[in-house]
Amino acid sequence: MGKFYITTAIDYANGPPHLGHAYEKVLADVVARLRRLKGDQVRFLTGLDEHGQKVQQSAKKEGIDPKVFVDSIAEKFQKLLIDLNISNDDYIRTTEERHKTVVRDILQRLFDEGEIYKGEYSGFYSVRAEQFVQETEKEGNKWPEDYGEVIKITEANYFFRLSKYRAWLIEYIQDHEDLIYPRFRAKQVLEFLKEPINDLCISRPKERLGWGIPLPFDDEYVAYVWFDALINYLSAVDSSASHLRDFWPANFHVIGKDILVPPHAIYWPIMLKAAGYEPPRGFLVHGFWTTAGKKMSKSTGETVDPLDLINQYGADVFRYFVTREMTVGQDSEFSLELFVTRYTSDLANDLGNLVSRLLNMVHQYRDGVLPSGRFTEQPEENLRESWKKTNWNVVSLFEEFRFNNGLAETFNFIRSINRYAEIRAPWKLAKSSKSGDVGSVDTTLAHMAEGLRLAVCLLAPVMPVTSAKILALLGQPEVSSWQEGLDWSNRLEGKRVKKKTILFPRI
Ligand code: MSP
């Protein structure tokens, strides 16, 4: 328990959101909600990366002022957060004054201390990637597609002494095994650091790029967009007179694999070190959705945007799907078929049926009031035993970011409640008038209800609305802490259940 600060990458404001952006928010949100349930004081930050060449170019293409352009993009990204039910505490935009102040402070400090110096740079520059590129990166005799147009330029610029910290960084990464999840990515970082690294060019002449934060010590230049953007993590908690400073260092920066090396794993720790801040405690690095941004095709030949599924099925279904399908750290293919299959088999059949079946029977046989589960025998003991295992497993799988496995276990447990109901068959027992059977019906309904309650407590970080809805159907408040609440109990005894509602209508 303690303070827990988690961030996502801040999205480029040069186009509308896509599946990759949505996934990263969900992943970070699941971790944030999990930590809150575990009792941590969580600070969850996300935001928008609004400066730089790409944004300037996109605005120009539309013939509007960059600020007007990024405002319209910010609206789209913020709507996505609401649609996905993301529980961020703050949203930072790099055009905000609170951010620019911190960037300027850090730049000035590093300049005063000689960590930033003026030099001459001559090299190949990719306009699209907004970075100088090396000839060794050429494939055959051509620049990689991603770089778009590459031009040769020579110009005076400011440099940050990155190379000086290489040995420190290597040692730091070696000493902090938990710094990068999954761990195999730390090897890639160390591999990168085997070669000497160049100092980082952190300025862009204003005549080439006007849309950025002017350097406090030379207003002919603006800051390089990555230098500006990375500082968001700090400026959101470190702006003057902030009561949030204690949240630094961040516990996790959630990012995609494309931006670990070099910006997050090389530039960022060194920038912090040079400016006198502690490095972050961790990077949670996810893989890519391989159809991200592309349209998916329905069997009818129509196409769908993955993000349309959020409004069509609700945030929780989308959240469940991406969390269940993706192994954190690896790539995953987004397919509509798989989405529909998961929806039907896990949500509509396994979970949805359990809820409606239980509520129906409680109304039919017990006037809507949950009975006590006193007469326990082998089937009940088996179910409780199965819960005990599930509970421990799932919590630790979630804590290890193995959400797909944790959800698989949770749904196994849900299926075992359904199997238990089949074995007990209360619909048969209820027809018999023997007094022992009266106890059995009670016991069965009580066990199904308690099993369901516990399962949906575990689902809360991934499906917060569904979890709260089902708990409300059982006469329970939404789960706010896992401290109590995950143990088998008889707290539902005597609770009045609501009339059944269809949670997951069939397609
Ligand atoms: N603006 C930078 C990040 C600056 S952080 C100080 C950036 N923006 S981005 O919009 O291109 O990407 C934002 C995040 O989305 C990144 O973590 C990136 O890895 C992630 N994704 C972009 N496409 C993705 C997929 N197809 N799949 C999963 N995530 C992907 O990079």
Q: What is the pTM of this model?
A: 0.95
- Answer yes or no: is 155 within a domain: no
pLDDT tens, 90-142?
999 999 999 999 999 999 999 999 999 999 988 898 877 777 788 889 988 99
Pairing mode of beta strands 90-93, 41-49:
parallel
| Ligand 1 atom closest to 9 (CA) | 5
- Answer yes or no: is 224 within a domain: no
pLDDT value for 217: 98
- Answer yes or no: is 79 within a domain: no
Rounded to the nearest integer, the mean pLDDT of the chain is: 94
Percent of the chain clearing pLDDT 90 (strictly above): 85
- Answer yes or no: is 438 within a domain: yes
Q: Which of 8, 21, 76 to mutate to test the pocket of ligand 1 (most atoms within 8 A of CB)?
A: 21
- Answer yes or no: is 188 within a domain: no
Give the closest residue to 279 by CA, choosing from 392, 165, 356.
165
- DSSP annotation of 471 reads H
Take residue 361 and report the two structure tokens written for it: 């029977």
Q: CA-to-CA distance for 315 and 321, rounded, in angstroms? A: 10
Q: How many domains does the chain have?
A: 1
Whether the predicted pLDDT of 30 surpasses 80:
yes
442: CATH: 1.10.730.10
- Answer yes or no: is 366 within a domain: yes
- Answer yes or no: is 464 within a domain: yes
Give the closest residue to 422 by CA, choosing from 479, 340, 354.
354
**CA Rg value for the chain:** 27
Q: Distance of CA 9 to CAs 62, 334, 464, Å? A: 26, 21, 23
| Ligand 1 atom closest to 11 (CA) | 10
User: Do 371 and 493 contact (CB within 8 A), yes or no?
Assistant: yes
**Chain centroid, CA 209 distance in Å:** 32
Using the structure block, give the residue that is written with the tokens 């109990």. Answer: 489
User: Do 463 and 445 contact (CB within 8 A), yes or no?
Assistant: no
Average pLDDT over residues 335-364: 96
Average pLDDT over residues 291-314: 77
Q: What are phi and psi of 239, to 5 degrees?
A: -65, 155
Establish whether residue 12 lines the binding site of ligand 1, counting it when its CB lies within 6 angstroms of any ligand atom: yes
Please, what is the end-to-end C-alpha distance for the chain in angstroms?
A: 42
pLDDT tens, 440-477?
899 999 999 999 999 999 999 999 999 999 999 999 99
- One-letter amino acid for residue 260 of the chain: L
pLDDT tens, 136-181?
899 889 999 989 999 998 999 999 999 999 999 999 999 999 999 9
- Answer yes or no: is 210 within a domain: no
Establish whether residue 5 lines the binding site of ligand 1, counting it when its CB lies within 6 angstroms of any ligand atom: no
pLDDT value for 1: 74
- One-letter amino acid for residue 401 of the chain: F
Q: Which domain holds residue 363?
A: 334-496
Confidence of residue 21 (pLDDT cuts 50, 70, 90): very high
pLDDT value for 294: 59
Give the closest residue to 224 by CA, choosing from 385, 84, 54.
54
Cβ-based neighbours of 426, under 8 Å, separated by 6 or more: 361, 365, 440, 441, 444, 445
- One-letter amino acid for residue 407 of the chain: L
| CA 23 / ligand 1 centre spacing (Å) | 10
pLDDT value for 299: 63
Establish whether residue 256 lines the binding site of ligand 1, counting it when its CB lies within 6 angstroms of any ligand atom: yes
Q: Which of 7, 99, 103, 255 to mutate to test the pocket of ligand 1 (most atoms within 8 A of CB)?
A: 255
**Chain centroid, CA 263 distance in Å:** 19
Which segments within 94-217 are labelled E, that is strand? 116-126, 131-133, 150-160, 180-181, 200-201, 203-205, 214-215
- One-letter amino acid for residue 477 of the chain: P
| Ligand 1 atom closest to 287 (CA) | 28
Q: CA-to-CA distance for 379 and 362, rounded, in angstroms? A: 20
Residue 148 backbone zone (phi > 0: left; psi -120 to 50: alpha; other: beta)? left
Using the structure block, give the residue that is written with the tokens 């990068």. Answer: 180
Q: CA-to-CA distance for 46 and 253, rounded, in angstroms? A: 10
